Structure 1
Amino acid sequence: MIEPQQYGQQALQEYLLLDYVQRLETRKYGHRAVHIHLSRLKPFHRRDYHIRVATNTFESYVKLYVGRIFVLTNNDLIFVWKDKSIADVEPAVDTLRYLFRDDPLSQDDSEETGFCTWFNLNTEFQEFLLLCQHLDDRAKKLQKSLNMRSAVQREKDNNTLGPITAENLAELEETIHTADLSEHIRQQPVCVFAHGGSKELHPVFDEFFVSIADLRNALMPNIDLASNRWLFQHMTETLDKRMLNYLCKRTFKTHASSFSINLNLGTLTSKDFDKFDENVRRNWPGNVIIELNQVDLKDFDKFDETVRSKWPGNVIIELNQVDLFSNLETYLSVRDDFHQRGYRILIDNLTVEALSFVDRKRLKADFIKVAWREEMTDNVIRKKYSEMDNLVKNSGRERVILCRCDSPTAIKFGQSLGITLFQGRYIDNMIARQRRAKRDGAKPVKPAAKKPAPR
Structure 2
Amino acid sequence: MAETTSSGGGDHLKLLTRLKNWKGGAEEPNHLILVSFSSLGMSEEEDKELRKKTDESYERSRERRGAEVYRLTNTDTALLMKLNEYNQMEWTSELKVDLIRVIQQNFSEYFSQIDQSRMLRIIPLQGRIQNAIKFLQTFDDRAKEAGVATGDSRPLRESDIQVVRDGMRKMGKKTFTENFIRSQVTALITPGKAPMPVMKEYFISVEMIRQHILTGVDFRGAGLVFQHLTRTLDQMLIECFDEVNPDRAKASLNLNVETVFTHSFQSLLEKSEKSLSSLVLEFRAENVLQNWDQFQTASELITQRGGTIAIDAIIPDSLGVLDLPRLGAKLAKIFWRPGAETVLPALKETVHSLQQRGTVLVLARVDDEMAIKTGHACGITMFQGFHIDDMVR
Report the TM-score, using the length of structure 2 for normalisation.
0.50
Greater RCO (CA < 8 Å, at least 6 residues apart): 2
Tell me which protein shows more helix as a share of its residues.
1
TM-score, normalization by structure 1: 0.44
- Higher gyration radius (CA): 1
